[in-house]
Structure 1
Amino acid sequence: MALDPLPSNTQAILRAGAEAVAYHIPIAPPSTTNPVLKSTVALPSRSQWTSGLHYHTMHTEYLRLIKGSIFVELDGELKFFSAKAGGEVSWRTGELLTSGLELKVDRYARHNWGRAEVRLVSRRLGLHVKIVSPEDRDEEVIVEEWTDPADITKPLFFWNLNGVITGIQDAPLSRKQSLVEVVLGNWWIPFQLFIIFWDLDNWPVFVSVRNLGLPFLGEHMDRCFGRLVEHVMTFMVLFAAKFVGTITGTRAIAQDRTPNDLWNAYKQTRL
């Protein structure tokens, strides 16, 4: 369910199922009253939703945990945060390790987050050790997201991403788009998402090869080469989608998926 009351300057998009999530997304560009556009993500108990492993090249991202407990994977390091505990907690003992519920994600830093139980369960299945869950493990999770620079990229991303996934599209497909839809079949939606990823600074890690296990390279070079492989794979997939999208007129940002004020701001800035 959507938060009540809604966060200021937002509207909600709800997605049900195993990966249930409620996005509360800004509907207008930055202003004197709302200089920083914050999107709020709410995850109900037992939701398997995760952000997916990805990185940004043009924006520093900030996450702030308001309620519940989450895992955060940041550049290969897995951490757990609990709003009730007030910061990062140990999955072995449950004790508070570091105070603070705001996390900075630098440009190019690979990251992924979701409900703590998603990773605690997988860790419990993989290791014969005691797992201490945060006290608020079963509570609804509420997380705020925003970026620096504080532009309209993140709201545009969330609106158009969810518009494609939920099928919010009034404009009919062109002949070229219809042909691509038939050819791609079940890949039609991922194809559209890849174009959104390319244009709106969201670079998914399709295959994590951070450490290739090549001892002759040395640990540092092995890690750097693995990261280069990830970047190249991501670039090639998204570039191919963007190329086909340009030919067929399939765009990342569509008016029928975007609130009017954001659409007008986008037309003026043309990100």
Structure 2
Amino acid sequence: MSARTRTAEQSIFKRPAPSAVTYDLSVPDQATIRLPPDSTWTSGPHWHDNHTEFLQVLSGHAEIRLSGTMMPSVSAIDGVVIVPRGTVHEWRRSPSAGLDDELVVKEWTDPKDGQKEAFFKNLNGIILDAISAGDGSWRMRTLDLELRNLFWRMDNWPEFLSPSWPGWIQGAMTRFLLLGSVIVGKVLGCRGSYEEYCST
């Protein structure tokens, strides 16, 4: 298997279409995320057990889901959206956004413990190395396993079932699937977090 790309000192990460996104991690404890007009990127539905998250649209329009509440077109005039701990949330470009609008969103958490930067550095390192290795490579075949190991380690709990399932079942299923990935990851050498991507 090829060596991992050393990106620990890098603060800007760009991923290609169709889910094009740029992460700017140059300010400690926050991320500025840019989605070009044609991006299909989404944060995916997830929650955090130990962090309250804050989302602020700087330009463009975002569609934000907080548990059962859908906010179809959040813009800069709407201020900061607070995502309490344990709240399933997801955000993406609003379908009603103009075709030429870039969406720019700032994210940060409470507590400010460096975990957001570490999470996004590992996330992008893993994905970009898999893309670079190409389809059919070991990195691409273990991509989901790596990401699930990262989610387990960095308080990022994805929603695997439809939102209609009760929260306790969602939580149990997510923890069961991610724990299974951690066990398999130990056998295959997939940890989800690497010093090549983040030194913290």
TM range (shorter): 0.7 to 0.9
Kindly report which structure 2 residues correspond to 1:81-96, keeping only aligned pairs within 5 A, or say none.
Answer: 81-83=74-76, 86-87=77-78
Rounded Cα–Cα distance in structure 2 between residues aligned with 1:210 and 1:195? 26
SS at match of 1:257: coil
Rounded Cα–Cα distance in structure 2 between residues aligned with 1:256 and 1:186? 18
Q: CA deviation at 1:12?
A: 1.0
Unaligned runs of 5+ residues in structure 2 are: 1-8, 131-136
Q: Residue type of the partner of 1:198? A: W
Rounded Cα–Cα distance in structure 1 between residues aligned with 2:167 and 2:92? 23
Bigger helix fraction: 1
Rounded Cα–Cα distance in structure 1 between residues aligned with 2:94 and 2:144? 27
Aligned residues: 186
Kindly report which structure 2 residues correspond to 1:219-238, keeping only aligned pairs within 5 A, or say none.
Answer: 226-238=166-178
Kindly report which structure 2 residues correspond to 1:197-236, keeping only aligned pairs within 5 A, or say none.
Answer: 197-211=151-165, 226-236=166-176
Is this contact kept in 1: 2:145–2:190, CA < 8 A? Answer: no
Partner of 1:157: 119
Q: Is structure 2 residue 42 aligned with structure 1 residue 50? A: yes
TM-score, structure 1 length as denominator? 0.63
Is this contact kept in 1: 2:33–2:104, CA < 8 A? Answer: yes
Rounded Cα–Cα distance in structure 2 between residues aligned with 1:42 and 1:209? 27
Is this contact kept in 2: 1:206–1:233, CA < 8 A? Answer: yes
Q: Residue type of the partner of 1:244? A: V
Q: Residue type of the partner of 2:143? A: I
Kindly report which structure 2 residues correspond to 1:1-271, keeping only aligned pairs within 5 A, or say none.
Answer: 11-26=11-26, 37-79=29-71, 80-83=73-76, 86-87=77-78, 101-117=79-95, 133=96, 138-167=100-129, 187-211=141-165, 226-258=166-198, 263=199, 266=200
Partner of 2:4: none
Q: CA deviation at 1:137?
A: 6.3
SS at match of 1:22: strand
SS at match of 2:118: helix
Shift in CA distance, 137/66, structure 1 to aligned 2, threshold 3 Å = farther
* Shift >6 Å, 4+ stretches: none
TM-score, structure 2 length as denominator? 0.85
Please give the root-mean-square deviation of Cα atoms over the aligned residues, in Å: 2.3
Is this contact kept in 2: 1:69–1:137, CA < 8 A? Answer: no
Unaligned runs of 5+ residues in structure 1 are: 1-8, 27-33, 88-100, 118-132, 169-180, 212-225, 267-271
Rounded Cα–Cα distance in structure 2 between residues aligned with 1:209 and 1:72? 15
Larger RCO: Structure 1 or Structure 2 (Cα < 8 Å, ≥ 6 residues apart)?
2
Q: CA deviation at 1:186?
A: 5.8
Rounded Cα–Cα distance in structure 2 between residues aligned with 1:113 and 1:209? 15
Rounded Cα–Cα distance in structure 2 between residues aligned with 1:144 and 1:209? 26
| Structure whose CA Rg is larger | 1
